[in-house]
Amino acid sequence: MDLLDDDIVPERARGVKAEAREFAREHVAPNAADHFRSGEYPWEVLEAGQEAGLVAQDIPEEWGGRGLDLAETLALAEEFYRADAGIALTLQLASFGCEITYEYGTDEQCEEYVRPVAEGEAISGLAVSEPETGSDLAGMETRAEKSEARDASERSGATAEKDGDEWVIDGEKYWIGNGVEADWVTVYARTGDDEDDRYGNHSTFIVPTDADGYEAEHIPEKMAMRASKQAHITFDGCRIPEENLIGSEGAGFMLLADFFNHGRVVVAGHGLGLAAAAIEEAWAFVHDREEFGRTVNEFQSVQHDLADMLAAFESARALTWRACEKVQRRENAGYWAALAKTKATETAVDVAERAMSLHGGRSVLDDRRIARVYRDARVPVIYEGVNEVQRNLIYRQAR
């Protein structure tokens, strides 16, 4: 049974998919259980992924990447997440936020910040969510204000003065992937208070993590995706150069909206990989396990469960790959991205729950892959915009 076959995948994405599958078998799956138990960041797998050219390779060739398109990135996500969601998330977060810079930033920004990520010399992050605000992009309160540079001695004890304007950032961000590990993060911050233009009050900035006023700490251990690290970031008078603004002031909301359309299709791939893993585990278990003198798969109710799981999976996968082409062609992208993200991630939850039931008491054992998949499947329904918000987007953008 090969649930992630190539039939539905565009020809252009099949080569990368094969690379990702081989890498996942060699590096991701064998390390999954250990990293889930330890909760340690999988540096060695990340480095292997960088060397294999499978990390941060959506970055265009002119900035050191392979220029993988959305279909290639989705194909890669399916394979990585089938092997292990925690390590897969680390691999995909290594370049998180770079797309905003290479799509809307300057050549100087791309050369200084994006190229090192593509070449495996740095990793990035994206700081959007806040402790009190998750999915409301227009409601984020971390603030960036323009200020003439102050005397350097006031900030660092130095005696020289710095010429030019700076942005000063104050506030908090929460659930930020690589907030501790990253070399720089893209920060979404409020720069205006126009009540008549709620969607024009935010901007995006490149913030090096060694900047004064930037502090980050890991969020305590999670129940799922433990190989991926998220952080609580505090900005306390964090100063960055004026030229670290990405695009134009006030354009942050629109930049993120476009970014998330692509991201939600990839997150749908997260769901597909997890669903495939759950079905594979359930299929193998019921065909090996005996009850009442016959293997469990011979019971009709079990066959019906597996049939329903397969039907749900294939429906979600067909929708996701259709959405991928729609989003790539920018055809009502927000609608299709929300449909795919909602359907695929919720299918992963439903399939994982059925797989747990088919495993019976063994499903709760820590050494069982299905127990890890079940916990991991609860996460993608939340990130990149909770599915309740996705339903709002689907309704509003249906046409």
The C-alpha atoms of residue 87 and residue 83 are separated, in whole angstroms, by 9
pLDDT of residue 163: 46
> Amino acid identity of 117?
V
pLDDT tier at 162 (50, 70, 90 boundaries)?
A: very low
Residues 392, 318 within the same domain: yes
Cβ neighbour number for residue 328 with a 10 Å cutoff: 18
Residues 285 and 202 in one domain: no
The DSSP secondary-structure symbol of 161 reads B
- Determine how many CB atoms are found less than 10 A away from the CB of residue 22: 13
- 33: domain CATH number is 1.10.540.10
Q: Is 375 inside any structural domain?
A: yes
pLDDT of 154 reads 54
Could you report the per-residue pLDDT of 6-65, keeping only the tens digit for each?
999 999 999 999 999 999 999 999 999 999 999 999 999 999 999 999 999 999 999 999
pLDDT at 153 over 80: no
pLDDT at 150 over 50: no
Of 222, 249, 276, the position where a domain reaches its end is 249
Residues 34 and 152 in one domain: no
Query: What is the number of residues in the chain?
Result: 399
Number of other CB atoms surrounding residue 357 within 10 Å: 12
Q: 214: pLDDT confidence band, cut at 50, 70 and 90?
A: very high
What's the CA gap between 114 and 124, in Å, rounded?
9
- Is 111 within the bounds of a domain? no
Chain segment 73-124, per-residue pLDDT in tens: 999 999 999 999 999 999 999 999 999 999 999 999 999 999 999 999 999 9
Question: Domain range spanning residue 357?
Answer: 254-397
CA contacts within 13 A on the Cβ side of 267: 31
- Work out the mean pLDDT of the chain and round it to a whole number: 92
User: Is 384 labeled as catalytic in the residue annotation?
Assistant: yes
Total domains present in the chain:
3
Name, in order, each residue with C-beta under 8 angstroms of 203's C-beta and a sequence gap of 6 or more: 144, 188, 189, 191, 245, 246, 247, 248, 249, 250, 251, 252
- Closest CA relative to residue 148, chosen from 168, 121, 176: 168
Among candidate residues 108, 119, 384, 388, the one labeled active-site is 384
The greatest distance separating any two alpha carbons of the chain, rounded to the nearest whole angstrom, comes to 84
Read off the CATH number of the domain in which 227 is found.
2.40.110.10
Using left for φ > 0, alpha for ψ between -120 and 50, and beta otherwise, residue 184 falls in beta
The residue to which tokens 């323009």 are assigned: 146
- Report if residue 119 sits inside a domain: no
Check whether 160 has a pLDDT greater than 50.
no
